[in-house]
Amino acid sequence: MSAALRWSVFALFLMFPLMGWTASTEEKLPLPDDIMATGGAGVASYDRFGMIFMNPASLANPDYGKLVLLQTALSIQPALPDFLKSIYSPGTSSTNPAAVSSLAGKQTGFDLDGPLMLGYVGKSIGVLLYSQEESVIGVGSGPGAPVMDLGAIIDFGIIGGYAGEIPAEFGPFRKLDAGFDFRYIYRVKYSNDGADVAEVANIMNHLFSPQDISFLVGQAIGSDLGLLWRGDNLAAGVSFKDWFSTTFSWVGSRIGTVVTNGATNVTLVTNGSMPADTYYAPSLDVGLSYRIPSLFSKFVCSDLTFYADLINVLDWSETPLMKIRLGVETLSMGFLRLRAGLYDGYPTAGVGLDFPFVKLSASMYTEELGSYIGAKPYTRVGVSLQFIL
């Protein structure tokens, strides 16, 4: 038995019992644009910025090393503007109940990556400070009048990882890379379910004014392990995500306003409540990638790469097609990246502009929030700007 095969069998045997069978009780925020535009696939990628979130073994690539100075990425649900017009009138708390009722069962929102995105990725190490934000507005049916669900999550995190190469050959693969990472997440979560429309409109009209808000503050430590087999053009990856369950411990907090001598002061109070812990359940993801270095001339279509992932292979409680991630990416004219894929059973698309020190990306993808394809699709359209050396 070759060294690569022995290492592979040992790692899989060691990690398999650690994989959980329960579903996560805490939400994960979206992956970077370069990953989502290719269908969320990338367990076997080793030359993209987003790889640090997919498989820590990919850090071992000696030919890829990037210093990330800043990233700003915004994605919205296309119906957001019309959604807000139905419930929000500047300077007044009045709403149009009929317009809101027409949105029953629907939701919209936006996501923001950055502006905190600072670190280094590649050549065996990865260290990254980052921030993410997600806001969601939904409409439900209440007794006699529609009600609204508001939610927001803000993450501040640090991820650090290391990967190394095990010189060994196994079939078409010349190298076996193994890696690990640890991350710390500081999460602020706000939820207001079942609010009446007038209350929501009043909150939005006074969004930048002092007001009483209750929220949760949670902290978690997690880790991923990964293996990556690399050949000349073919790669295969295995990622053991959240292998010891990334558990969030929560504390209830409140921002309150106090009027003293006619002046309004804002105070932060920890109310002492300790909600139940939530967690990311362990997940075993596998993937393949195949690269065609020069299909045509480098100005037409070069570095054509195909990706195929199967996520959480130990849990088949959801529709099988929703577990498949497919993607393709190509480079044209030396700076234009075209991307497409399949995510949650829906097509994805994206484009990227790679210039020295600056990268621009745009993506479109749909996430299925229901239990089957077509139940509750949620489409995001996003753009991002990165400064990378």
Give residue-wise pLDDT tens across range 313-372: 988 888 899 999 999 999 988 899 999 999 999 999 999 999 988 999 999 999 998 888
Instruction: Find, among 44, 39, 67, 68, the residue nearest to 56 by Cα.
Output: 44
- Name the E strands within the chain: 65-76, 107-122, 125-141, 146-170, 173-196, 213-231, 234-241, 246-260, 263-270, 278-280, 283-294, 302-310, 324-332, 336-343, 346-355, 358-368, 377-388
Mean pLDDT, the chain, whole residue set: 83
User: What's residue 178's pLDDT?
Assistant: 94
> Residues 344, 368: contact at Cβ < 8 Å?
yes
User: What's residue 109's pLDDT?
Assistant: 87
Give residue-wise pLDDT tens across range 72-129: 888 888 877 777 776 665 554 455 666 667 777 778 888 988 888 899 998 899 999 9
Give residue-wise pLDDT tens across range 149-172: 889 999 999 999 999 988 777 777
Q: Is 38 exposed, middle or buried (0-12, 13-18, 19+ CB in 10 A)?
A: buried
pLDDT at 11 over 80: no
User: What's residue 141's pLDDT?
Assistant: 64
Backbone dihedral region for residue 97 (phi beyond 0: left; psi -120 to 50: alpha; all else: beta): alpha
User: What's residue 20's pLDDT?
Assistant: 47
pTM given for the model: 0.87
| CA–centroid distance for 130 within its chain | 12
The proportion of the chain whose per-residue pLDDT surpasses 70, expressed as a percent, equals: 80
Which of 48-57, 96-105, 168-177, 290-299 shows the lowest mean pLDDT across its residues? 96-105
Average pLDDT over residues 301-308: 90
User: What's residue 234's pLDDT?
Assistant: 95
Whole-angstrom distance, CA of residue 309 vs CA of residue 348: 15
User: What's residue 298's pLDDT?
Assistant: 67
Average pLDDT over residues 39-58: 91
Average pLDDT over residues 224-251: 93
User: What's residue 282's pLDDT?
Assistant: 92
pLDDT at 265 over 80: no
Q: What is the DSSP letter of 21?
A: -
pLDDT at 267 over 90: no
pLDDT at 5 over 60: no
